[in-house]
Copies of this chain bind each other. A is one copy, B any other.
Amino acid sequence: MAEALETVSRNRCFGGEQRVYRHRSAETGTDMRFAAFLPPQAGEGRRVPVVWFLAGLTCTEENFTVKAGAQRVAADLGLMLIAPDTSPRGESVPDDPQGAYDFGLGAGFYVDATQEPWSKHYRMESYVARELPALVESALPADMGRQGIMGHSMGGHGAITIALRNPGRFAAVSAFAPISSPVNCPWGEKALGGYLGPDRAKWREHDSCALIEGGARVPDLMVDQGTADNFLEAQLKPQLLEAACARAGIPLTLRRQEGYDHSYFFIASFVEDHLRWHAERLRRAPHP
């Protein structure tokens, strides 16, 4: 691996180590940061399973890392956690012309943009699904034969679509309050229209429900959704994912969590359930 990983921070945490790295990304053409939690079981030749966490709108690699309380569980289960940023950043990177939070910086939507001026830097699918995994495999004690992926909101959309678009790669897939069908909500219409252009057929290649309808599959799926989430009805629409999974025969564990909202307090409350769900599937995954 030619890329140099620069260590931004290292903090001992639950017997393991929370690290933040910076590196030059060939895909985005920018410096990118990501967070990596190494559980105590990693190192000295031992590789551990990896769980990816893709964050939501406005987030960086930091939100999940400092707010979710996931390291305690990951240390217990021997899981590495990788949390990427949500978009390219830097002076050369264009942002939403109105400075809105739901497009541009912090809102890469885990797609490779095809439209100017976004296409040069906004290549978050290739970054998260190809460049960063290769870097993680080369630089960290990660067992890439045992990977899970989860995410929140825009990152829930990212986790499910990347799993559907890379069949067989992820033994476990889950989400907190995912955008279930971006082609059917204002956030998704704005982002996919902006990054991919007006042809809605292109959008469907990055829509969990449309991908499932088109035959893409994951072994099973776990989703938590707060009932007091402000974005539930207009943006998240878990019933669309529920219907798509039901039609396709994908076992979906959809838990409607009474009174929970869209915040990291919601994620923190249930991240242990998700990580245990991932660990169980990663334990059973065939070793490469």
Chain A, interface residues (CB within 8 Å), range? 20 to 34
Q: By the criterion CB–CB under 8 Å, are A18 and B265 in contact?
A: yes
Tell me which residues across on chain B come within 8 A of A228, comparing CB atoms. 12
A231 CB-CB contact with B under 8 Å = no
A72 at the interface (CB under 8 A from B): yes
Check: A134 CB closer than 8 A to any chain B CB: no
Residues in chain B near residue A69, CB distance under 8 A = 69, 72, 268
Query: What is the CB-to-nearest-CB distance from A165 to chain B, in angstroms, rounded to a whole number?
Result: 33
A259 an interface residue at 8 Å Cβ cutoff? yes
When chains A and B are docked, how far (Å) is the Cα of A12 from the Cα of B11? 29
Structural contact, B261 and A12, CB atoms closer than 8 A: yes
Give the nearest-CB partner of A72 in chain B: B69
Q: Residues of B contacting A234 with CB < 8 Å?
A: none
Beyond A12-B265, A13-B266, A14-B268, 18 extra complex contacts between A and B, CB < 8 Å? A11-B261, A11-B265, A11-B266, A12-B228, A12-B257, A12-B259, A12-B260, A12-B261, A12-B266, A13-B265, A13-B268, A18-B265, A66-B66, A66-B67, A67-B67, A71-B265, A71-B268, A72-B268
Listed A/B pairs (12) with beta-carbon separation below 8 Å = A11-B263, A12-B226, A12-B228, A12-B260, A12-B266, A12-B269, A13-B268, A13-B269, A15-B269, A69-B69, A69-B268, A72-B268
